[in-house]
Homo-oligomer: A and B are copies of this chain.
């Protein structure tokens, strides 16, 4: 039963999932700032007020979409990690590349996750997904023997590259062929790795949770 099957008048069956799918497509096509709730409803073949019942308002829909987005975000990193060597350093590089993969592959969704003020981070699902993403990074850095300051360094580097590339900046890197670009990104990511600055120093950043 497709979305535009005229038979289903009421009780779509799985409207919530269908709306999330339509919302993601709308987000990719129109961007975060031109996102329209009624347009999402139209794409799902449903009345314009139908989403309200499942998500409350637009913010609720985007929040749910972001929670799902964080899982895809982690999946993108996991995909890289699976094809990388098992040692912690290689795993950390792979995670960084997955981070960038996600940002370049779904720039609008990426910006929703990290640069939108239309998300409700008190939402349980979003909060869980978001902290899960951070903990994954922190654990990986710990595996390499790095401190939380190292985690911040790795995060900032990966995020900076991802955000700039997703927004069309860093053109010198953007125009490189896939192979060469990946080499540059790897060299940039490894610059901030814990092993690069030898010597155990006190971690100036307290180990509280961060999201």
Contacts and interface: CB of A to CB of B under 8 A. Distances in A.
Contact of A169 (B31, B148, B211): B211
B33 A118 contact: yes
A204 to B, nearest CB: 5
A143 interface: no
A115 interface: yes
Contacts of A210: 169-172
A50 interface: no
Interface residues of A, number: 48
Contact of A152 (B159, B172, B204, B211): B172
A122 interface: no
14 contacts: A114-B169, A115-B115, A115-B167, A148-B172, A149-B187, A153-B157, A156-B157, A156-B164, A172-B210, A173-B205, A176-B205, A183-B204, A191-B191, A196-B197
Pairs A-B, 9 closest by C-beta atoms: A160-B160, A156-B160, A159-B160, A171-B210, A31-B117, A156-B161, A115-B115, A172-B205, A191-B192
